[in-house]
A and B are shown apart, each in its own frame.
Chain A
Amino acid sequence: MYLDNSATTQVSEEVFEEMEPYFMEEFGNPSTLYKIGRESKKALNLARQRVADAINAKPDEIIFTSGGSESDNLAIKGIAFKFLNQGKHIITTEIEHPAVKDTLNFLESFDFKVTYLQVYENGIIKIEDLIEAITPETILITIMHGNNEIGTIQPIEEIGKIAREKGIIFHTDAVQTFGKIEVDVEKLNVDLLSLSSHKINGPKGVGAIYIKKGVRLVPLIHGGGQERGIRSGTENVPGIVGFGKACELAASQLDEHYEKLASIRDELIEKVLTTIPEAYLNGDEEKRLPNVVNFRFKAIEGESLILLLDAKGYQASTGSACSSNKLEASPVLTSLGLDPVDVHGSLRVSLAPESDEFDVDEFVATIQEAVARLREMSPLWNQELDYDGVMCSKHGDNCRMC
């Protein structure tokens, strides 16, 4: 049972069928004038219309990219370099996706100043903090819509209103929310919005950025002038076609999927918290995505838990240090102010609407068994242990954490 749909999703049958002709039959370059080129162009236009419709935008406000990360990079660097002479201050949160966070870190090395708004225990920012952070130098606010690890939803509409009043460009990464909850660019008051295809049963390597009419930015990729000069490079036609179809499907099934997912989510939360001792939910109980749940279990380590669940046929993920390439615990979970030890015991479950055969009771029993087993092995469970002054093995003498 695949329970890591925040990482990626399976391409749906309808999407795959829609894409297929654009590999071998309709292989034309959309910039060319003869028939197969025009066919590709037509397919691009249809996809653009579908993406636009799904977020209540106009087709000429949609630029196709290689995915969410590129869209985030384009939004942030594109605005930063466009408004270089007007100010060098950007506001964000401390729980952004690395595509935003690392892009901002990069800009900091070019003397940009970045304010990272705190999220509180519930994983959500406070509007007062945002208002306080705004300076005459602020050129951009970039705040994610839904968080990829804990699923919490930020008050984008309100943030957008403030940004608009102050005349500051506002970008949101809607990669996790798109297709899960309503994403309407008009209601959200955003200028720029990032989308990804592979999170909504579309193919990987394609995404889009919504750029509100009138908003100007500097391109990341220069070249042949495709995508109105904002994103050069011959378009990924099959990918874009698939993405367009995925958008159409996601939009048409939004309400139905929401109901289904939210009910499984609520059942899962309720059962895990009541049957497993010392189990907790990470992030706000209400303001969350219908498909993402993040738990933490005392005295166990997440990678071990993932391995045990995998052995039982469940694929999920964790924010533990041992599972990351950088050997660092999830900055998102750390930002919630949790005990750092507990961050290692996290489990993220992200559901898909097609998981009809998902048996919550069976899954909860499997987690329960795995957690109990790891606790039996753990020197931290039900034991008083003095580990102060014990050295960390991972990060050596320079460890910043222990």
Chain B
Amino acid sequence: MDYSEKVMDHFANPRNCRKMEDANGVGTVGNPTCGDLMTIYIKVNDDEVIEDISFQTFGCGAAIATSSMITEIAVGKTVEEALKISRNDVAEELDGLPPIKMHCSNLAADGLQAAIENYKENNQ
């Protein structure tokens, strides 16, 4: 697979890869039957800022790299800012993904959105 150096770096040294026990928002996307499953954990503080974010991913190199990248992009952002992170943003930050792997970028953006939705539900 023709991955950029940045993808390989995030795959080999994933940032924020752990289960978060005290998360207040958790989102799981993908389906392992098809080969990828991503769980994003967020901890949002009283100012609506994502102060901690982590992930666990079952998937290919691109799925792991996009998970890692979105945690870096989203940390420190407010929930509203984080919701604006688009599917393409993740791929762009990684210096691109092979066309066949673009869905992994979607997966990461969707995973973050799912975690934020879960946070909002928890705080209604």
Taking CB atoms and an 8 Å cut-off, the chain B residues in 7-50 that contact chain A are 8, 11-12, 14, 17, 19, 28-39
Q: Does the CB pair A380–B107 fall under 8 Å?
A: no
- Residue B61 CB within 8 A of the other chain: yes
- Residue A215 CB within 8 A of the other chain: no
Q: Does the CB pair B32–A344 fall under 8 Å?
A: yes
The interface residues of chain B lying within 8 Å CB-to-CB of A131 are none
Which range contains the number of A residues in contact with the other chain? Answer: 20 to 34
Shortest CB-to-CB span from B117 to chain A, Å, is 13
Q: Which residues of A contact B (CB under 8 A)?
A: 299-301, 303-304, 307, 311, 320-323, 325, 327, 329, 340-341, 344, 376-380, 383, 385, 387, 390-395, 399, 401-402
Q: Does the CB pair A377–B35 fall under 8 Å?
A: no
Q: Does the CB pair B59–A304 fall under 8 Å?
A: yes
The interface residues of chain B lying within 8 Å CB-to-CB of A307 are 1, 8, 11, 61
Which listed residue (A321, A390, A393) contacts B106, Cβ 8 A?
A: A393
Task: Tell me the bound Cα distance from A391 to B103 in angstroms.
Answer: 12
Q: Which of B33, B61, B64, B104 has the largest count of A CB atoms less than 10 A from its CB?
A: B33
The interface residues of chain B lying within 8 Å CB-to-CB of A341 are 32-33
Task: Tell me the bound Cα distance from A299 to B37 in angstroms.
Answer: 10
Query: With A304-B11, A311-B12, A387-B31 in contact, is A393–B58 under 8 Å at CB?
Result: no
Q: Does the CB pair A399–B34 fall under 8 Å?
A: yes
Q: Does the CB pair A378–B60 fall under 8 Å?
A: no
Q: How does the 8 Å CB contact mask read for B98-122 relative to A, with 1 for contact and 0 for none?
A: 0011011011001000000000000
Q: Does the CB pair A323–B33 fall under 8 Å?
A: no
CB nearest to A380 among chain B residues? B58
Query: With A301-B59, A301-B60, A304-B59 in contact, is A392–B30 under 8 Å at CB?
Result: yes
Which listed residue (A300, A327, A340, A402) contacts B58, Cβ 8 A?
A: A300
- Residue B71 CB within 8 A of the other chain: no
The interface residues of chain B lying within 8 Å CB-to-CB of A327 are 35, 100
- 7 closest Cβ pairs, A-B complex: A322-B60, A402-B31, A303-B60, A392-B34, A379-B56, A321-B35, A392-B31
Q: Does the CB pair A392–B59 fall under 8 Å?
A: no
Q: Does the CB pair B31–A391 fall under 8 Å?
A: yes
Task: Tell me the bound Cα distance from A379 to B8 in angstroms.
Answer: 21
| Extra contacts besides A303-B1, A327-B100, A392-B34 (18): CB < 8 Å | A301-B58, A322-B36, A323-B1, A325-B100, A327-B35, A341-B32, A341-B33, A377-B17, A377-B57, A379-B37, A379-B38, A379-B58, A380-B37, A387-B28, A390-B29, A390-B31, A393-B29, A401-B34
Q: How does the 8 Å CB contact mask read for B54-75 relative to A, with 1 for contact and 0 for none?
A: 0011111111100000000000
> 10 interchain pairs (CB within 8 A)?
A322-B35, A322-B36, A322-B63, A377-B14, A387-B37, A392-B33, A393-B104, A393-B106, A393-B110, A401-B31
The interface residues of chain B lying within 8 Å CB-to-CB of A311 are 12
CB nearest to B57 among chain A residues? A377
Query: With A379-B39, A399-B34 in contact, is A304–B61 under 8 Å at CB?
Result: yes
Task: Tell me the bound Cα distance from A387 to B39 in angstroms.
Answer: 10
Q: Does the CB pair B56–A301 fall under 8 Å?
A: no
Query: With A303-B61, A304-B61, A393-B107 in contact, is A320–B56 under 8 Å at CB?
Result: no
Q: Does the CB pair B56–A378 fall under 8 Å?
A: yes
Task: Tell me the bound Cα distance from A20 to B107 in angstroms.
Answer: 51
Q: Which of A311, A340, A344 has the largest count of B CB atoms less than 10 A from its CB?
A: A344
Shortest CB-to-CB span from A309 to chain B, Å, is 12
Shortest CB-to-CB span from A337 to chain B, Å, is 14
Q: Does the CB pair B33–A379 fall under 8 Å?
A: no
Shortest CB-to-CB span from A371 to chain B, Å, is 12
Q: Does the CB pair B29–A301 fall under 8 Å?
A: no
The interface residues of chain B lying within 8 Å CB-to-CB of A340 are 33
CB nearest to A376 among chain B residues? B17
The interface residues of chain A lying within 8 Å CB-to-CB of B32 are 341, 344, 380, 387
The interface residues of chain B lying within 8 Å CB-to-CB of A385 are 28, 37, 39
Shortest CB-to-CB span from A101 to chain B, Å, is 21
CB nearest to B32 among chain A residues? A341
Q: Does the CB pair B58–A299 fall under 8 Å?
A: yes
Query: With A301-B60, A379-B56 in contact, is A402–B34 under 8 Å at CB?
Result: yes
Which listed residue (A329, A387, A390) contacts B35, Cβ 8 A?
A: A329
The interface residues of chain A lying within 8 Å CB-to-CB of B34 are 321, 329, 392-395, 399, 401-402
Task: Tell me the bound Cα distance from A350 to B85 in angstroms.
Answer: 43
The interface residues of chain B lying within 8 Å CB-to-CB of A322 are 35-36, 59-60, 62-63, 101
